[in-house]
Every structure is written in C-alpha cells, then in structure tokens.
Chains A and B, each alone.
Chain A
C-alpha cells in the first residue's frame, strides 16, 4: 500500500516543480472527478455494509463446503458475485476453506467472480458505462469465471 503514497507524493512533487499551474489544474480535475462519482460510491458502501451483515464469512464457508461440487460452484459464484471483499480477507478465507477440503474448482469460481463480477459496484459502474454495458460486462465476466472454474477443475483432477 505504501508504494501508492510514495508514487503519488513524488508525482505531485515533480509536477509542482515543473509547473504550478498544471498541478493546480490536476488537483481541480481530481476533485471534480471525485465529486462526480462520490454519491455512487456512497451507495456502493451502503450496499456492501448491508450485504456483509446478511452474508457473513461463516455463511459463505458453510455453503461452499457442500459435498456436491456442482452445487458448490453455483453457490460460490453466487456469493462471489454479490459480495465484495478485499484480497487480504478473501484469500486467507480461501486458504482456510482449502484446508477444510473445499475443492479448487469451487474456490476458483468464488475468487474469480469475487474479482470480476460486481453486483455491489453496479452503482459506480453504471454511472460511467450505463445500465446496458454494465449488465453485459458482468454477464460475460460470470461466464468467464465459470470457464475458469471448469479449467481449474480439470487441471487439478477434480473433474473427469
């Protein structure tokens, strides 16, 4: 995380040395862009806070551990799509599930949908791309995630 602050700080400093005007303009653009998307971000945070309450980690663990892989993948892609969690929560959770014996196929469906399919980021995505493109992109992403799950299953010898 720290490298982000270092890079941003350096960039601002260099920009300021080269041209004060352009740096000021950059800050103005940054503020304008941020204000434009802020309401959508707030709605997203509200949705995240409610969904995380309704679907805590324990619930996800229970459903992913289903003995039937097919059902496991369905639940995994459902939970992966409707939730949003940072990597430092998601991957340790996957590590625990793996030790519990959850199939790689199921974990692949979960992580890939978590990364690519964003039901909760819908307000933000819609604000830039519109409803139609947002839905198409997410549908394609869900499809790709399922293919990834199947391929992981084949390579890890869990399917066939």
Chain B
C-alpha cells in the first residue's frame, strides 16, 4: 500500500512538472493535455460533489437491514430490478457507479446485484439512452439494451456466485 502511494505521488508530481514546463516553453502537446485535463476535471466536478453527498446521506440514513432486504441475499429477483432501476438514474458513468456500488456493498447488498448495478449503470442510464436514441435511432438503442441487459445480469450472477464461493470481499474504504 505504501509503495502504491509513493507511485501515485510521483506520477501526479511529474505530470504537474511536465505541464508547468510545457507552459513555460509553449510546448503545444503539453498545453493541449492540460486543456484536456481541465475540461474533464470540470465535467467531473459538476457531478462528483453531489454524488458523494448523496452517498453520505444514504449511508447515514438508510438502515443496513433495509438494504439487505432489497439488495441482499434474500432479495431474489427484486434485488436485480432495484439494481437496474437505481442504475437508470445514476449520472455520469462508471466512475460514479463505483463508489455507489461500494456503499451498497458495505450496507449488505449481494455481489451479483452489485455487478448488475455496475453493468446497468454503464449501459442503461436513462438520460444517456434517450440521447443515444436521438442520434442513432430508437431501434439501435432498443436492440442494444435488450441484448446487453440480460447478458449483464447472467454474467453478474455467475461472477457474483463464483466470488462469493471464494469468500471475496470488496476492499474496505477508510
């Protein structure tokens, strides 16, 4: 863990150095990379604070038993439906879905539901699907969803069961 931290710090500081040097000497690839970094950071900053506040509220208010009942081992098919519905309203993309998935997991959701949620939040976020349909057609979006969603659920169940058997745990967030 400590080695990883050093690598992270080194990577970030050499990146910053590269950008500063590029800026001083007017090195255009470096400036372009800095612009990419800025525009993506802004995009993410529009979403992440809200996402994490909602995660915090969720963890403070929602009882473990409630999550276990709807997303846990006893939830049966309902767990997957809840997972997909929650995914439909997730904003941003996978990078927002990961921390949400972690919170659900720490409140007692089962792994196959977690993976279904992750997969579904990649492919069937409602605003994104509408946007997609307006550029590529409803037929395209409908086929894409009807093909990918069942595959995501089946794969999640297989992966979830496999990992549960092996006593896999999602890393504890400190």
Contact = CB atoms under 8 A, between A and B. Distances in A.
Interface string B141-174: 0011001100110010001000100001011011
Given A29-B56, A30-B56, A34-B52, A130 B171 contact: yes
A12 interface: yes
B151 A144 contact: yes
Nearest to B41: A45
Interface of B: 5, 8, 11-12, 15, 29, 32-34, 36-37, 40-41, 43-44, 46-50, 52-57, 59-61, 91, 93-95, 98-99, 101-103, 115, 118-119, 122-123, 127-128, 131-132, 134-136, 139-140, 143-144, 147-148, 151-152, 155, 159, 163, 168, 170-171, 173-174
A91 B136 contact: yes
Interface residues of A, number: 71
14 contacts: A23-B60, A31-B52, A33-B55, A34-B49, A87-B127, A108-B140, A108-B144, A115-B93, A124-B95, A130-B171, A133-B163, A137-B159, A147-B148, A155-B143
B148 A112 contact: yes
A140 B44 contact: no
Contacts of A94: 132, 135-136
Nearest to B30: A53
A6 B97 CA distance: 20
Given A15-B57, A26-B57, A33 B136 contact: no
B94 A125 contact: yes
Contacts of B144: 108, 111-112, 148, 152
Interface of A: 1, 4-5, 7-8, 11-12, 15, 22-23, 25-34, 36-37, 39, 41-46, 48-50, 52-53, 84, 86-88, 91-92, 94-95, 98, 104, 107-108, 111-112, 115-116, 118, 121, 124-125, 127-130, 133, 136-137, 140-141, 144-145, 147-148, 151-152, 155-156
B119 A141 contact: yes
A157 to B, nearest CB: 12
Contacts of B15: 46
B135 A92 contact: yes
Nearest to A107: B136
A111 B140 CA distance: 11
B52 A46 contact: no
A92 B136 CA distance: 9
Contacts of B173: 32-33, 36-37, 128
A129 B101 CA distance: 10
Given A5-B50, A12-B53, A32-B173, 13 more contacts: A12-B57, A15-B61, A30-B57, A33-B52, A37-B99, A46-B11, A87-B131, A107-B140, A115-B122, A128-B170, A129-B98, A151-B143, A152-B143
